[in-house]
Amino acid sequence: SQTIHQWPATLVQPVGSPLSLECTVEGTSNPNLYWYRQAAGRGLQLLFYSVGIGQISSEVPQNLSASRPQDRQFILSSKKLLLSDSGFYLCAWNAGLGSTEAFFGQGTRLTVV
């Protein structure tokens, strides 16, 4: 069966420090991969999505970047964190090919101090 792993679960980082959140999917090939963020008092917002290795689409301008170095690995990064980067980050995957269901990881609670 397919599973999605996302880590770490919680993270406290100082302003100006780098960030790397990792997400891996097991049990499927060539999935669509997504990073969402939920800021306090707001809904989930799509940050990035990827339909294949090295293919990244950004949905909103921001201080973050994403990479997909392997088929089932999706990384969210920042060179210098801002206070406004605090939030709950969720990785998700979808089988593509018209599939309508997305499967989410457990999420990472990031607090920038």
Partner 1 sequence: GNSVTQMEGPVTLSEEAFLTINCTYTATGYPSLFWYVQYPGEGLQLLLKATKADDKGSNKGFEATYRKETTSFHLEKGSVQVSDSAVYFCALSDDTGFQKLVFGTGTRLLVSP
Q: How far is the CB of 17 from partner 1 (least distance, A)?
A: 25
Pick from 75, 90, 92: which is nearest to 28 by CA? 92
Of 66, 107, 110, 112, the one binding partner 1 (CB under 8 A) is 107
Of 42, 54, 61, 69, the one binding partner 1 (CB under 8 A) is 42
Pick from 3, 47, 7: which is nearest to 23 by CA? 7
Using CB under 8 A, which of the segments 21-29, 51-59, 60-68, 70-78 binds partner 1? 51-59
Q: Which residue, 57 or 63, has its beta carbon nearer to partner 1?
A: 57
Contacts of 52 (CB under 8 A, 6+ apart): 30, 68, 71
